Structure 1
């Protein structure tokens, strides 16, 4: 989805696992900047067809969307596992990149994966779960983790629309350094999915110039879109200085 507006820098939004670009729709309402809500590949296909995808397939699919977009300079806004994809995508778009915003995002060290950011017990457990039950958590886990501070209707929309991802999105490693551009980490202080203590490690890996906090769960674009929009506006003004 595109939203056209006047401005020299546009925002490329990368959603997290199981979601789609529309999760950002409340954030970009009234946002006077070009916006591109990128989508992951094969969203309308079967889980079986998506299961064959690699992390590089995800990146290539998103890059094609950005390549077709007319806005030259971009800030990448990445949520959750989208942080892994953002680092890899940024390396492909270095000449266009004006900044990165990580929203409760996974930021692995170089040659790391999403799994690599987790504490060892959690990493081992998730490895087993990915092989046995796949990448769609039980409904109870989605409601207590991903949707912890959402209304019942909002949570139902997320749970009912959750799309299983390829296992390799979680396990493939990226050999990419953090780019030398203005960076912001938005820490979600009530997050039950990516706990604040783990987000602190992600902040250390990203080494951002700016850190802002939101008292929300894992989906601030739904629970507090105005707050997140305000943070992005401030970061844009900072990045242009």
Structure 2
């Protein structure tokens, strides 16, 4: 099945510090591409994989599970750790939740975590019915495109399969169980006007992680897909500053950009 334009995975080799970026549910690397390019231009090694079932048509997502998405990220993390001396993980929405689980599972292999509007819990009471509804209703209208900027477009599915939503709900439970094992430095950026993920998600992350080094920033002018919105530059610069503070050797790689 052909990929949607912009859904291609992205990898750019730079210096000894790497960043693994994770896109969200029904989204694609396109939503993270400017973020990835900003970090790569600063000399970092950057990878943005395409999660299984994404970037083609929503029907392809129906036959995947959260374990497939997570396995793809785990493979990319392994490649980055072989290529780089220090590795950071970052993500948007569900990608932020996946990044947190990677941090919990891989411990010292990950130097820090950056999450933007992380999705780690259900905001819809009807989600408890998903085990039944997924057999009755094939799909629902999509959730991509929550952006304040009128000229910005997010590539993704206009529908999502309830089978995949049911698996996402199972992933949330896994992430919640893993949060106390996250002890790496954390940078959390969130949009107060997010129409997809409630503030309770970020509050849950901050309440349960064991990290001591925690920074929270607000994306006041953006909606859910803040990486393509008015506060994108804030996200890019805060991420780069965060990485450089924790990995001083990243500063020496500026000339590679």
* Alignment match, 1:147: 146
Query: Structure 1 pair 86/29, CA: closer, same or farther in 2 (3 Å)?
Result: closer
- 37-46 or 80-89, which moves further after superposition? 37-46
* Alignment match, 2:7: none
* Alignment match, 2:206: 203
Structure 2 counterparts to residues 34-45 of structure 1, below 5 A: 34-43=45-54
* Alignment match, 1:17: 25
- Displacement of 1:17 in angstroms is 0.4
* Alignment match, 1:194: 197
Residue 112 of structure 2 is aligned to residue 75 of structure 1: no
Residue 176 of structure 2 is aligned to residue 179 of structure 1: no
* Structure 1 SS opposite 2:181: coil
Query: Structure 1 pair 219/62, CA: closer, same or farther in 2 (3 Å)?
Result: same
Residue 245 of structure 2 is aligned to residue 238 of structure 1: yes
- Displacement of 1:76 in angstroms is 0.8
Tell me, in whole angstroms, the C-alpha distance in 2 between the residues paired with 1:186 and 1:212: 5
**RMSD, aligned α-carbons:** 3.1
The answer (yes or no) to whether the contact 2:118–2:201 under 8 Å persists in 1 is: no
Unaligned runs of 5+ in 2: 1-9, 249-257
Query: Structure 1 pair 129/189, CA: closer, same or farther in 2 (3 Å)?
Result: farther
- Displacement of 1:129 in angstroms is 5.9
* Structure 2 SS opposite 1:93: helix
Residue 161 of structure 2 is aligned to residue 158 of structure 1: no
Unaligned runs of 5+ in 1: 108-113
* Structure 2 SS opposite 1:191: coil
Q: TM-score, normalized by length of structure 1?
A: 0.77
* Structure 1 SS opposite 2:47: strand
Write out per-residue CA displacement over residues 155-204 of structure 1, whole angstroms, 9 at most, x where no aligned residue. 4x535677657231332432424322111211212211113354333332
Write out per-residue CA displacement over residues 72-104 of structure 1, whole angstroms, 9 at most, x where no aligned residue. 421111211223322332344334200111211
- Displacement of 1:39 in angstroms is 1.8
* Alignment match, 1:111: none
Query: Structure 1 pair 213/46, CA: closer, same or farther in 2 (3 Å)?
Result: closer
The answer (yes or no) to whether the contact 2:182–2:210 under 8 Å persists in 1 is: no
The answer (yes or no) to whether the contact 1:78–1:102 under 8 Å persists in 2 is: yes
Query: Structure 1 pair 133/226, CA: closer, same or farther in 2 (3 Å)?
Result: farther
Equivalent residues, number: 224
Query: Structure 1 pair 44/138, CA: closer, same or farther in 2 (3 Å)?
Result: closer
Query: Structure 1 pair 43/201, CA: closer, same or farther in 2 (3 Å)?
Result: closer
* Structure 1 SS opposite 2:152: helix
- 194-203 or 213-222, which moves further after superposition? 194-203
Q: TM-score, normalized by length of structure 2?
A: 0.72
